[in-house]
Amino acid sequence: TIPHKELALSLADVVSDRAALVGAANTLTFGEGGRIHADNTDGYGFIANIADHVPDWNPKEAPALVLGAGGAARAVVAALLEKGVPEIRLANRTEARARALRDLFGARVKVVDWIRASDAVEDAGLVVNTTSLGMEGRPALKLSLDRLSPGAIVTDVVYTPLKTPLIEEAARRGAIAVDGLGMLLHQAAPGFERWFDKRPEVDDDLRRAVLAP
């Protein structure tokens, strides 16, 4: 749906609370009288992906570092706050956009200078890249994981390539490295169910089917 999520929201007659909060829609359905209903399932997909890989994850235990301030970041921040993450450190190359998200979501969001993002890794239980850095054809994300806590989760919403430089570095350091494919699959499942009245199971078979050449 990138880069059409904001446009999709503007076309809707009925907007879910999640889509309104995030300011973007990735799922459109038609209701009575042809009214267009908009929802955003990115946050759901993000949390479900983490839960798949780390079933015992307790979001309330430690701060999270989120890189980026676009639509994906808004969805991730909203979902993390709903899950009770005590503090979200938000770093973006354009700091004004990060401050706008802080103003939107409140005091638990702390803006971090982009060039000091590596310092904000310290004691974070979760590190999330929502930027396009690391995607095929884009520069790698320059983030040092030297201060990463043992057992921390590192995830990337980018899924092309599946193993971004960030994910590979996190795995080398023994962190819990979670790629972005699961988020893609989980966020699509609710929309698929609404359109076809059948909920797909997000499992290894589905991952293999999606990754097949």
Active site residues: 5
Helix (H) or strand (E) holding 97: helix 95-105
**Dihedral sign, CA of 118, 24, 22, 168?**
negative
Measure Cα distances from 69 to 137, 155, 171, 196 in Å. Answer: 21, 16, 25, 33
Q: What gap in Å lies between CA 25 and CA 157, rounded to an integer? A: 17
Which residue from 196, 152, 153, 160 is spatially nearest to 181, judged by alpha carbons? 160
